[in-house]
Amino acid sequence: MSCEEDFLLTGPNARLTRLGWRTMVLLLPVLRFFVDTGKHEAQNRRRSFTFFRSLGPSLGCFVTSKRAHLRFARRTNMKMKSRWILVSAVVSLAAFLCVTVGLPVVQGSADHVRWDIINFNAATTPPTVSAGGFAIAAARNNPSTLTIKLTGSGTFIGPASGGTSSGATGGGTWQTFSGTTLTGSGTYEVRELISWQFANFQTPSIIDLIDDGAGANGNAVLRIEYSDGSNGVLGVGCHGPGSLGGIVEGVIATKDFVTYWDAQAPAGVVNANRTSFHVR
């Protein structure tokens, strides 16, 4: 699941590179001003030397033109040094902005994300993941009786603000059970992204047949509408290769007042209860 080239060309590194170039372009006129000023100061110093040398004897000055020139040169050099110190400060500020201002841009830019409840094939080396799996969640106060089984996939745009987004698509199928008895079934559609929390990018240790961006770990909460007219939310968590701690692998959901808040954990090589994110 290696998407390093796409990430470098279209991901956060590209945004950082663009920011650095924009910062330097904005500072070029400032640098040009100081360079031109330095040239003018040098010209003025040469003209002053000629002026004092010609004027000194005619006025009977006690100070020779050479000494006058040296005195003026000292003042000019001090001005030149001050200006170049300022130039150095401007360049340092540009470098600082490229690094420190760039980091929030990397972390805060909108993410284009695909989510999937996946198939997991442990018979290959390394294991293979693909779209089309299922996951189960249970109601917390009735864990042995009320469950929901979901399939699905979709996309969304995670805004830089970290808030909600109507730029969400997708859906899947649902089945509800009381024990082993099927109590309802149908489809659902995603209406809105409520929250997207990116954790980190996955390490390339599986065969990824989805390959729609760089594999990522994190969680998303989506507002969904069921085909029987009920409403709810779908929570998708991915604790994939290289994940940080604290992320639940699988799904949780609500359907009207029923809260299926216990995600059934993936077990060994069983093809169930696994998810994935891909970020572009």
Burial class (CB in 10 A: 0-12, 13-18, 19+), 180: exposed
Q: How far apart, in whole angstroms, are the C-alpha atoms of residue 204 and residue 2?
A: 6
Number of Cβ within a 10 Å radius of residue 51: 14
Dihedral angle sign, alpha carbons of residues 144, 145, 151, 153: negative
Kindly indicate the confidence band of residue 161, based on its pLDDT and cuts at 50, 70 and 90: confident
- Residue 267's region, left for phi above 0, alpha for psi from -120 to 50, else beta, is beta
136, 273 Cβ separation under 8 angstroms:
yes
> How large is the average pLDDT for residues 5-20?
40
Q: How far apart, in whole angstroms, are the C-alpha atoms of residue 184 and residue 260?
A: 15
193, 167 Cβ separation under 8 angstroms:
yes
Between residues 132 and 42, the one the model is more confident about: 132
Domain spans, the chain = 4-108, 111-279
Q: What is the DSSP string of 82-148?
A: HHHHHHHHHHHHHHHIIIIIHHHHHHHSPEEEEEEEEEEETTSSS-EEEE---EEEE-TT-TTTEEE
Residue 203 has pLDDT above 80, yes or no: yes
Between residues 182 and 103, the one the model is more confident about: 182
Q: What is the pLDDT of residue 104?
A: 36
Q: What is the pLDDT of residue 212?
A: 86
Q: What is the pLDDT of residue 140?
A: 82
266, 272 Cβ separation under 8 angstroms:
yes
Lowest mean pLDDT of 103-107, 164-168, 195-199, name the range. Answer: 103-107
Between residues 89 and 225, the one the model is more confident about: 225
What does the block give as tokens for 224? Answer: 């969904």
Q: How far apart, in whole angstroms, are the C-alpha atoms of residue 117 and residue 132?
A: 6
Between residues 82 and 25, the one the model is more confident about: 82
Using a cut of 0.75, tell me whether the model's pTM lies above it: no
Kindly indicate the confidence band of residue 275, based on its pLDDT and cuts at 50, 70 and 90: very high
**Element (H or E) spanning 235, and its range?**
strand 231-238
Q: What is the pLDDT of residue 141?
A: 77
Q: What is the pLDDT of residues 166-181, one digit of tens each?
A: 999 999 999 999 999 9
Residue 193 has pLDDT above 50, yes or no: yes
Kindly indicate the confidence band of residue 211, based on its pLDDT and cuts at 50, 70 and 90: confident
Q: What is the pLDDT of residue 109?
A: 82
Residue 155 has pLDDT above 50, yes or no: yes
Residue 44 has pLDDT above 70, yes or no: no
220, 115 Cβ separation under 8 angstroms:
yes
Q: What is the mean pLDDT of the chain?
A: 77
